[in-house]
Amino acid sequence: MNRVFNFGAGPAAIPLEVLQEAQEHLVDFHGEGLSIMEASHRSKMYDEVHNEALGLIRELYKVPEDYDILFLQGGASTQFAMVPMNIALGGKVEYADTGSWSSKAIKEAKILGLDPVIVASSKESGYDRIPENITFSDDADYAYITSNNTIYGTQYKTYPSTKAPLVVDASSDIFSYPVDWSKVDLLFAGAQKNAGPSGVTIVIIKKALQSRVKDSVPSMLRYTTHAEKDSLYNTPPTFAIYILSLIMKWIKGKGGIEAIQKSNEEKATLLYDAIDNSNGFYVGHAQKDSRSLMNVSFNIKDKDAELEAKLVALATQKGMIGLKGHRSIGGLRASIYNAMTKEGVEALVDLMQTFAKENS
Ligand SMILES: *Cc1c(COP(=O)(O)O)cnc(C)c1O
């Protein structure tokens, strides 16, 4: 077996133990004589997997009972539209613009005929930070943030306190730290960065918020449709949910989300120290107090594209892939989600240090 260290931003690394368990049970699921992929979504065999995934999310992410956990499709991008379709009331909808994903969410609200208010933006400084003192109106229909900005490598250290319902796009940092649910009314994430394979979108929504959903919203696009049927209104992405259940078990085995957070902090510290101690050879994109623990975006001094490409190529040779920065900002990006091992980060730091010495 020759596994690379996968620093790709998404779909991203999945723990080896999870892949191996799925492999072991792929053809004959625990003696059932068929794969979980082939089982009816109405079967007892699938039902157990579905409920285990839901139960483990509630347990490990400490989701209070007055929230529903939904498994939807269409990716986080569909949530950009579902949020306004379901919970806008005709008043103000407010957004913090911290990067491309927030901008895309704002665009969808406009398509739906709303006039989204951008209460804060870090666009002017190349999205290198989370704006300070973001203030949402108390009477907004909702307040919208992107907790981790996958491309720019910035992340909220705490969510803003709002009177208006807070909506969080946590696509790239779900399950990486404990969430203060007293602040959040709706949190969503495509699973393929930190929670499993592509194909399932996790939505965690306060029950009370669902009273806003209007009959004019098509059935499949209503949160209530899926909440009422435990995400079994139609065929859910069964295999993706199965892998998600294994990932939740893996998190539990690691000691839960607090333990995962600690490990994430250690990994990120190794990488940011390597940048900070490089005598300016490496330059981080994010301002220090906005640095993401999930995506470390950086350049080589003077944005030397040739040296950057050389480092990416060398890393690939050494079994470290996915380090090319997003096409919109260039440079390099190391995505170090929950499943990235410390060993992987150490290998990268090692390479970065040698590379800096040889090319300074
Ligand atoms: C990747 C990403 C998305 C888009 O997710 P899809 O599932 O591909 O639609 C949205 N928001 C953030 C923060 C992301 O990182």
What residues act catalytically?
101, 169, 193
99 CA distance to ligand 1 middle (Å): 12
Rounded mean pLDDT for each run of 10 residues along the chain, 360 residues in total: 94 98 98 98 98 98 98 98 98 97 98 98 97 96 98 97 98 98 98 96 98 97 98 98 98 98 98 98 97 98 96 98 93 98 98 97
The reply to whether 182 and 268 lie within a common domain is no
102 CA distance to ligand 1 middle (Å): 10
The reply to whether 128 and 35 lie within a common domain is yes
**42 lies in some domain:** yes
The reply to whether 174 and 285 lie within a common domain is no
Residue located nearest, by CA, to atom 3 of ligand 1: 76
The reply to whether 43 and 119 lie within a common domain is yes
86 CA distance to ligand 1 middle (Å): 19
Say which amino acid occupies 76. Answer: A
Domain-terminating residue out of 237, 253, 269: 253
The reply to whether 321 and 231 lie within a common domain is no
Q: The domain that contains 182 carries what CATH number?
A: 3.40.640.10
**307 lies in some domain:** yes
The reply to whether 231 and 97 lie within a common domain is yes
Q: What is the pLDDT of residue 328?
A: 86
The reply to whether 245 and 291 lie within a common domain is no
**349 lies in some domain:** yes
**What residues make up the domain containing 128?**
16-253
The reply to whether 125 and 49 lie within a common domain is yes
- Contact at 8 Å (CB) between 195 and 203? no
Using a 6 Å cutoff on CB, does residue 131 contact ligand 1? no
Domain-terminating residue out of 253, 273, 308: 253
**9 lies in some domain:** no
The reply to whether 95 and 112 lie within a common domain is yes
279 CA distance to ligand 1 middle (Å): 34
Q: What is the pLDDT of residue 1?
A: 80
The reply to whether 245 and 274 lie within a common domain is no
**10 lies in some domain:** no
Q: pLDDT digits over 12-23, tens only?
A: 999 999 999 999
Mind giving me the DSSP string for 181-240? GGG-SEEEEETTTTTSSTT-EEEEEEGGGGGG--TTS-GGG-HHHHHHTTT-SS---HHH
Q: The domain that contains 339 carries what CATH number?
A: 3.90.1150.10
76 CA distance to ligand 1 middle (Å): 5
- Contact at 8 Å (CB) between 187 and 204? yes
**2 lies in some domain:** no
- Number of domains into which the chain is organized: 2
Residue located nearest, by CA, to atom 7 of ligand 1: 75
Q: What is the pLDDT of residue 253?
A: 98
**11 lies in some domain:** no
DSSP state of 321: E
pTM score, whole prediction? 0.98
- Contact at 8 Å (CB) between 91 and 141? yes
Using a 6 Å cutoff on CB, does residue 172 contact ligand 1? yes
**65 lies in some domain:** yes
Q: What is the pLDDT of residue 299?
A: 97
Domain-terminating residue out of 203, 234, 253: 253
The reply to whether 210 and 284 lie within a common domain is no
Residue 77 CA: which ligand 1 atom is closest? 9
Using a 6 Å cutoff on CB, does residue 98 contact ligand 1? no
Using a 6 Å cutoff on CB, does residue 325 contact ligand 1? no
- List C-alpha distances in Å: 264 to 12, 223, 252, 321, 336: 15, 32, 15, 19, 8
The reply to whether 30 and 138 lie within a common domain is yes
Residue 150 CA: which ligand 1 atom is closest? 15
